[in-house]
Amino acid sequence: MTDTPQPGATLANGWQWTAPFAQLGPAFHAPMQLQPLPKPYWVGFSACAAQLVGLDATTPTNPAWLDVLAGNALAAATQPVSTVYSGHQFGMWAGQLGDGRAILLGEVVPPAGVNSPAQEVQLKGAGLTPFSRSGDGRAVLRSSIREFLCSEAMHALGIPTTRALGVVGSPEPVYREQAETAAVVTRLAPSFIRFGHFEHFSHHGLHGELRTLANYVIDRFYPQCRTATSYQANPYANLLAAVSERTAELLARWQAVGFCHGVMNTDNMSILGLTIDYGPFQFMDGFDLNHICNHSDHQGRYAYARQPQVAYWNLYALGQALLPLIGDEHLVEQALTPYQTLFPVALDRRMAAKLGLAQVAEGQRELVSALLRLMQAERVDWTIFWRRLSDCVDAGGPGDTRAAQPVRDLFLDSDGINHWLLQFLEHGKQHSRGLDASLMLKANPAYVLRNHLAELAIQSAQRSEFTELHRLQSVLEHPFTAQTGMERYSDFAPDWAQSLTISCSS
């Protein structure tokens, strides 16, 4: 292996590489030389994500692709850069941040016949960048596996997300709280632009660059903002409103599935409304409105119940960054109202589906609130409850004693859950189409990436055993389908899982 990554001309594979972000100018990024990863090996690969860029499941059999995704060779025509951004972290202005270990290779226009938008290809963990600050530019195997699995699991759940093409490992030591080994995860997205990109240029008074960035995002991803007549036909106010709408839908999906992001800083918020930067995330086990998944979040800023409000706070920060372009503080405030209006509507719609209702019905919020109080009191498992309720409706309904027993078994407060089940039954009767089990089974997954499942896969991978990781990945690709022989992946978290701590260290 050479010390300097070499062009991999044989890897064109019909790809048409472009570099639109790199062409914005030197204020937006720094050109990069990738740092070779010693003795790379395959850890995981997503054939599903590979389809977005015209690859197939045979890719891991090609040693040349291993070198490219390790950062040891450059695919032909790539222009590697790392981007600069700033942001608020835990509510405080953090100043300049940037891609401290992420390197954007460029953008792939998929081959003919591939129904996908162009995808940016980014290597996370490929070495030092000018924005690494005191870091080493590497990612560890542990966090790379978590991001890989969760990116693909979220996609299978129907939640907007960046994607993960694959993970490459290496015996190279990396030091965090303890010595670990290095890895590179290849990420895909139409764009990795964050709220923090806009904050960076606005904070430094670089309004020309701010306008260039906003125009780029509008022209590439929100062209309707050019012609919309809302918000005084101001394209930048319309951009803020459009991002607010996407963010509202994203947060509703997170809350409905019990997903906690853990680090909702403005630099971790996607301008496209994607879930981005999988650090100390968690799918809740026992339901707790105040659940904190990030061991570093000492004040609970990013607790589960606070996520919707934090998203609005972040949108407000984006609005302030866009103010020099919008030109009117009142117009900024107006452009944020779609989030406040649409989030509760989107969440109601998600909860209706979880309850088996084709549309939101009168009294639904009260029914859900009563349920959440019961679940909160006993920390009832979020995913298991909803799946058992779905199976109950599918097997005869809450009025059928035998069908409802697995749901009742989750609660010590038998009177409380019995009363709620009666309310649920009556609610269904009042709905014109009744309770729809098929709708529930499509809205309530049997499998999510619980922390202990990820931990078991990581421990095996650290011993160079990848069967568990691949099996878990396969299960998570079909989260709504009960899979024979895979019951342990839908079971309760073991007691030892309570001692797992997930922090920002990766």
3-state secondary structure of 4: coil
In a 10 Å sphere around its CB, with 0-12 CB exposed, 13-18 middle and 19+ buried, how is residue 409 labelled? Answer: exposed
Where would I find the H helices in 117-193? 141-156
Do residues 184 and 214 lie in contact, with contact meaning Cβ atoms separated by under 8 Å? no
Closest listed residue to residue 8, CA positions, set 59, 54, 76 = 76
**Tokens standing for 300?**
């609970």
C-alpha angle with apex 221: 217 to 222, nearest 5 degrees?
A: 90
Q: Which helix (H) or strand (E) holds 108?
A: strand 102-109
Q: Are 385 and 375 in contact (CB under 8 A)?
A: yes
CA distance 225 to 279: 32
Catalytic residue chosen out of the listed positions 3, 67, 99, 267: 267
Report the SS3 class of residue 189: strand
Report the distance separating Cα 95 and Cα 98, nearest Å.
10
Tokens of 190: 């139409």
End-to-end CA distance of the chain: 26
Is 400 an active-site residue?
A: no
Residue 238 CB partners (closer than 8 Å, separation 6+): 222, 224, 225, 228, 230, 231, 335
Nearest to 51 by CA among 124, 148, 117: 117
Instruction: State phi, psi for 41 to the nearest 5 degrees.
Output: -150, 155
Beta carbons of 406 and 395 less than 8 angstroms apart: no
Please list the active-site residues. Answer: 267
